Structure 1
Amino acid sequence: MTEPKLNQQVTDLLAATNSLFPGNVTVTLGDQKSGYVRHDQATQLMQNGDIEVHVSDVTAPSYTASHEVMHLLLLLQGFPQMTFNLTTNNEKLDEQLMAIATELYDAVAHVLIVKNQRDHDLIDADIEDLYFKGLYATIDPEDPNQDDAMMTLRLLTLTDLLVFFGGELTKDRLAKVTADFPKSWTAAQKLYEIIAAKPIETPFAMRRTVVKLFKAFDDQMLAWDLPLLHGSEFVTMQSVLSDRQQRLEVRQLFDIYHSEMIETEQQTRAFIGLNKNDRQNAFVLPAPAEKDSDDFFKELYGMNVKDLFARLNMPFTIR
């Protein structure tokens, strides 16, 4: 059996990533071969300051490895990341919410990643076929008589399919998905319209699109009478700030609200800093001692934004 190998484009991409990362980034290959590609076929493992990208399924090792390395490269280039600093105190629910938020975030990131892969000839007709097979290895066709527990997963998977193909499917593929997924395909097109509405070329544009997608996803869940993500509260989205915004007082850029959820680090009541413009969670604070709360919030609102983020050890991207 021929050993799987990575092509020169991936080797070059790895070199570019290592030039930005303080540790060492390597790629290792497994031996599974499913006959389709999905984005869960590679993982990042961090140890002693180094990152190993492990490609467990080598159906298309160069495609899969490059995809995962490009996710890492976006982080190193300052594109905004998500963190999860709140808990519902229900571990299973937390995991579900984090998984959904990650899929929505990734769908937006994939606009940049897929374009980069296509520019470097890492996606061709064969990869497109393998990706389409991966769709059917992830979700089953809809039951026309009833909605099932897979509706949310169908919506997320089909939205990502639209990103992968840039909204343009061949006649045969389009006929198949519209026949197999009539409800979720229509809903996925609405989410894709949000993603494709404006170019995603900068950290600010990416953050703006992710925030809009959280809201559009909840609108769809509401229409289907399914549980909401509440991504604007549950997910902390890294801020993208201009020089001027960094110098503003906190009160000028954020409103701070008490949340019903719990702050994860200290397991206490949480306060959320919501961006005034888009109402998205930008930072999370544990509740101060009751006797100190007035002074705490007075000081907090009067700080400049850059100093607050330094105190919180909260990274942000400069716009």
Structure 2
Amino acid sequence: MTEIKLNEAVTGLINLTNSLYPDNVSVHLGTEKSGYVRHDQAQQVLKDGNIVVEVKDVTAPNYTASHELLHLLLLLQGFPQITFNLTTRDQQLDEQLMAIATELYDMVSHVLVVAKQREHALIDETVEAEYVKGVYATIDPEVPNKDDAMMTLRLLTLTDLLVFFNGDLAPELEKRVSGDFPKSWPAAKTLYAVITRKAVDTPFGMRRAIVKLFKAFDDQMTAWQLPGLHGNEFVTVQNVLSERQERLEVRQLFDIFHSDMLDKHKNTRAYIGLNKGDQQNAFVLPAPAQKHSDAFFKETYGKTVKELLTGLDIPYTLR
């Protein structure tokens, strides 16, 4: 079998990533070849401080490797991450919520990732056709007038399809997709409009889009009478702050509320720091002992934002 060599654009991305990451970043290519591309065909694996981008499916190795490298570059350049610090006490439910939240987060990231891939000519008509095949390998067309368990997955997959094509599908593809998904396609367009309403080219813009997308997703779930994500509470979104906000007291920027969920790492009652501006989970605190709670909250609210986040070892980005 002929050895696959990554092209110059991808090797350039590997070099750029290595210039920002303290240890080594490399790409390992597998041997599977499905004939379609999906974003689950590669993953980042941490080994002794080094990151290996494992591309298990090599249908489009340059596309798939560059896609994962660009996700990594966003993190290294200070674009916000999401973390999961709470548990519903139901592991299966936690995993479902984390999977949905990650898909929504990735969609917003893909606005930047796909734009860079197109800029470097890493997406051509062949990759586009393979991407569409990947969509149809993931979701089945809707059965008229009948909802099934795939509605949420259809919504996520089709919204990402819109991001991939920058909202502009060829007429024949638009006709095919709208015919196969008459209920979920309009809903996907609504979510896409939320993602792209304002620019997503800065850490602040990306965070804003993520938070708005969580809400829009839950609005759609409510309309379909399906369970929501409640991402504003369940998902911690990394803060993007100005230098002035760093210096504010915690009480000026955040409200701290008791959560019905538990601190995932300590398995104790949890308190959530909600951003006053958008009510998004910005940090999670384990509950103090009852007899110390008044002093704890007085002290916490009186700290500067920088003191609190640094003391909790919570990363944030300055804009």
Output the TM-score relative to the length of structure 2.
0.99
Aligned to 1:317: 317
Q: How does 1:58-69 map to 2 (within 5 A)?
A: 58-69=58-69
SS in 2 for 1:137: helix
SS in 2 for 1:22: coil
Please tell me the residue identity of whatever aligns with 2:210: V
Aligned to 1:252: 252
Aligned to 1:128: 128
Superposed displacement of residue 265, structure 1: 1.3
Aligned to 1:179: 179
SS in 2 for 1:140: coil
SS in 2 for 1:6: coil
Aligned to 1:143: 143
Please tell me the residue identity of whatever aligns with 2:255: D
Separation of aligned partners in 2, 1:246 and 1:217: 30
Please tell me the residue identity of whatever aligns with 2:150: M
Superposed displacement of residue 216, structure 1: 0.1
Separation of aligned partners in 2, 1:145 and 1:308: 52
Superposed displacement of residue 267, structure 1: 0.5
Aligned to 1:26: 26
Separation of aligned partners in 2, 1:126 and 1:47: 33
Separation of aligned partners in 2, 1:55 and 1:235: 28
SS in 1 for 2:183: helix
- What does the per-residue CA deviation read over 1:48-91, in whole Å, with 9 as the maximum and x for residues that have no partner? 11000000000000000000010000000000000000000100
Aligned to 1:84: 84
Superposed displacement of residue 196, structure 1: 1.2
- What does the per-residue CA deviation read over 1:256-294, in whole Å, with 9 as the maximum and x for residues that have no partner? 000000001111000000000000000000000000000
Separation of aligned partners in 1, 2:154 and 2:270: 33
Superposed displacement of residue 145, structure 1: 2.8
Superposed displacement of residue 47, structure 1: 1.3
Separation of aligned partners in 2, 1:233 and 1:189: 25
Superposed displacement of residue 2, structure 1: 2.1
Output the TM-score relative to the length of structure 1.
0.99
Please tell me the residue identity of whatever aligns with 2:21: F
Which of structure 1's runs of 4+ aligned residues deviate more than 6 A?
Answer: none
Aligned to 1:196: 196
Aligned to 1:221: 221
Aligned to 1:113: 113
Separation of aligned partners in 2, 1:224 and 1:278: 24
Please tell me the residue identity of whatever aligns with 1:59: T
Please tell me the residue identity of whatever aligns with 2:257: Y
Q: How does 1:265-280 map to 2 (within 5 A)?
A: 265-280=265-280
Superposed displacement of residue 3, structure 1: 2.1
Identity of aligned residues (%): 68
Question: Size of the alignment, in residue pairs?
Answer: 319
Structure 1: gaps of 5 or more residues: none
RMSD: 0.5
Aligned to 1:94: 94
